[in-house]
Amino acid sequence: MTIFLNLENVDRRLTDKIIKELEAEFFPNDNNLTNYFKIVYHESASTVEDSRLREDNRASIRGIELDEKDKQLDLVKQKVKDILVRFAIDNYVVTLDPHSLNEIVILKRSEAESTGALHCRHCGMEFEDQIQLGNHLRIHYMI
């Protein structure tokens, strides 16, 4: 089983930063044996042999694949959220792909909101309506 983290909607400059953080979080020492952490490119780019060219072609990154049980989906999602919160990246949210059992997507906040999902700016938690979000927001202002 694998978990796929879709980064296609992420701004190119931000992709680098996020991947670096994901590596710090998930990349195991023995990755060359386990192939646990894998960057997934679009088909067209994966045929590019020149690594420098590929480096230039960050926009062709589809996302990260982790060789992880789908049970861990929420845990991985939470860790990705923590990364966005740590870097105060509040124009993006982390959500599960409703069409897939093992896919996490980083979306622009505006895109996520257009589908009706609301995410707390402070901790990334998801809500279905403004009232729930409003109630939740209070906990951040209590202290």
Site string for Zn ion, 90-119 (x = CB under 5 A): ------------------------------
Q: Provide the Cα torsion 89, 95, 71, 84; round to 10°.
A: 0
Contacts (Cβ under 8 Å, ≥6 apart) of 97: 6, 103, 104, 105
Q: Does 48 bind Zn ion (CB under 5 A)?
A: no
What minimum distance in Å lies between the beta carbon of 123 and Zn ion?
A: 3
For Zn ion, give the closer residue by CB, 43 or 141: 141
Q: Does 123 bind Zn ion (CB under 5 A)?
A: yes
User: Does residue 128 sit in helix, strand or coil?
Assistant: coil
Q: Which of 122, 127, 132, 133 binds Zn ion (CB under 5 A)?
A: 122
| Terminal alpha carbon distance of the chain | 42
Tell whether the torsion through CA atoms of 87, 101, 73 and 32 is positive or negative: negative
For Zn ion, give the closer residue by CB, 62 or 122: 122
Binding site for Zn ion (CB under 5 A): 120, 122-123, 125
